[in-house]
């Protein structure tokens, strides 16, 4: 089944074999597509080297740094050419912000979760739309905890909740364009 032959997809967020992003990457490759993985830092690169193919395209990208996003996507364009799709499977909150009493979440912890888990979707898509004219699809991940109170999910639920109006606004502004954004919910 080669329905993605000739297509290149950036997959962001593989940390290990259990990462949702790795499942996406394998599915894309099984459909004949080329996958370019991005990894946050050297520690994550070492983790990826344990299980990806030796010739797997990979580029470093920390989404907390918008200049790093532009630099990573510019490198991808130079090395691999046109990109047709993007998978954003990235989220982060510090342990203290996920556990215990939500009233104790610090401003720094709240902002970090929003920055990495919600804002980064806008940041990477803005950069990708600018650098990859052939981009047609962006896939991202949300969760049941965005609409229901789940113990130990705390502030991450707020970050995921933010995506709902964001995706709606996005669809409105892109309705006349050829792009698509798909928030995908895993689990219940
Ligand atoms: N695991 C679940 O049950 C579940 C359910 C629903 C939704 N999700 C969502 O799916 C997505 C992937 O989660 P996962 O379960 O595969 O976890 P994971 O820990 O395997 O993946 C999270 C990834 O985010 C990356 N990341 C964190 N900070 C980053 C930064 N500053 N720059 C670049 N990358 C950064 C990590 O390196 C990691 O690769 C997340 O958005 C998560 O909220 C997960």
Residue 135 sits in a domain whose CATH number is: 3.40.50.720
Taken in order 87, 177, 68, 118, the sign of the CA dihedral is negative
Rounded distance from Cα 35 to ligand 1 centre (Å): 18
55-64, 67-76, 156-165: least confidently modelled range: 156-165
pLDDT tens, residue by residue, 104-117: 999 999 999 999 99
Q: Does the beta carbon of 44 lie inside 6 Å of ligand 1? A: yes
Rounded distance from Cα 140 to ligand 1 centre (Å): 10
User: What DSSP letter does each residue of 72-85 carry, written as one string?
Assistant: HHHHHHHHH----E
Residue 179 lies in a domain: yes
Q: Does the beta carbon of 159 lie inside 6 Å of ligand 1? A: no
Q: Does the beta carbon of 72 lie inside 6 Å of ligand 1? A: no
Residue 60 lies in a domain: yes
pTM beyond 0.85: yes
Average pLDDT of the segment spanning 61-69:
98
* Band (10; pLDDT cuts 50, 70, 90): very high
Residue 2 lies in a domain: no
Residue 105 lies in a domain: yes
In this predicted structure, what is the pLDDT of residue 175? Answer: 47
Q: Does the beta carbon of 37 lie inside 6 Å of ligand 1? A: no
Q: How many structural domains comprise the chain?
A: 1
CB 99 within 8 A of CB 23: no
Average pLDDT of the segment spanning 35-61:
98
Rounded distance from Cα 176 to ligand 1 centre (Å): 31
pLDDT tens, residue by residue, 117-136: 999 999 999 999 999 999 98
Pocket test for ligand 1, best of 86, 141, 148, 155 (most atoms within 8 A of CB): 141
Q: Does the beta carbon of 40 lie inside 6 Å of ligand 1? A: yes
Give percent above pLDDT 70 in the chain: 90
pLDDT tens, residue by residue, 149-164: 888 888 888 888 777 7
Active site residues: 143, 153
Could you tell me how many residues make up the chain? Answer: 188
Residue 178 lies in a domain: yes
**Residue 178, pLDDT above cutoff 70:** no
Residue 96 lies in a domain: yes
Residue 1 lies in a domain: no
Rounded distance from Cα 90 to ligand 1 centre (Å): 4
In this predicted structure, what is the pLDDT of residue 176? Answer: 47
In this predicted structure, what is the pLDDT of residue 186? Answer: 55
Residue 131 lies in a domain: yes
**How far apart (Å, rounded) are the C-alpha atoms in residues 88 and 25?**
11
Structural domain that includes position 49: 8-186
**How far apart (Å, rounded) are the C-alpha atoms in residues 86 and 143?**
19
Q: Does the beta carbon of 62 lie inside 6 Å of ligand 1? A: yes
SS (H, E, C) 107-148: HHHHHHHHHHHHHHHHHHHHHHHHHCCCCCEEEEEEEHHHCC
């Amino acid at each position: 089944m080669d329905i993605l032959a000739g297509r290149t997809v950036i997959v962001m967020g593989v940390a290990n074999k259990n990462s949702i992003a790795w499942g996406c990457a394998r599915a894309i490759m099984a459909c004949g597509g080329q996958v370019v993985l991005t990894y946050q830092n050297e520690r994550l690169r070492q983790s990826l080297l344990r299980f990806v193919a030796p010739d797997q395209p990979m580029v470093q990208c920390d989404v907390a740094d918008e200049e790093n996003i532009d630099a990573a996507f510019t490198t991808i364009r130079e090395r691999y050419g046109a990109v047709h799709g993007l998978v954003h499977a990235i989220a982060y909150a510090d342990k203290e912000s996920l556990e215990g009493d939500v009233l104790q979440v610090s401003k720094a912890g709240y902002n970090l979760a929003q920055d990495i888990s919600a804002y980064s979707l806008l940041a990477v898509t803005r950069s990708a739309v600018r650098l990859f004219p052939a981009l047609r699809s962006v896939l991202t991940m949300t969760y049941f905890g965005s609409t229901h109170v789940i113990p130990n999910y705390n502030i991450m639920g707020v970050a995921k909740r933010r995506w709902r109006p964001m995706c709606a606004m996005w669809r409105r502004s892109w309705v006349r364009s050829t792009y698509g954004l798909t928030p995908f919910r895993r689990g219940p």
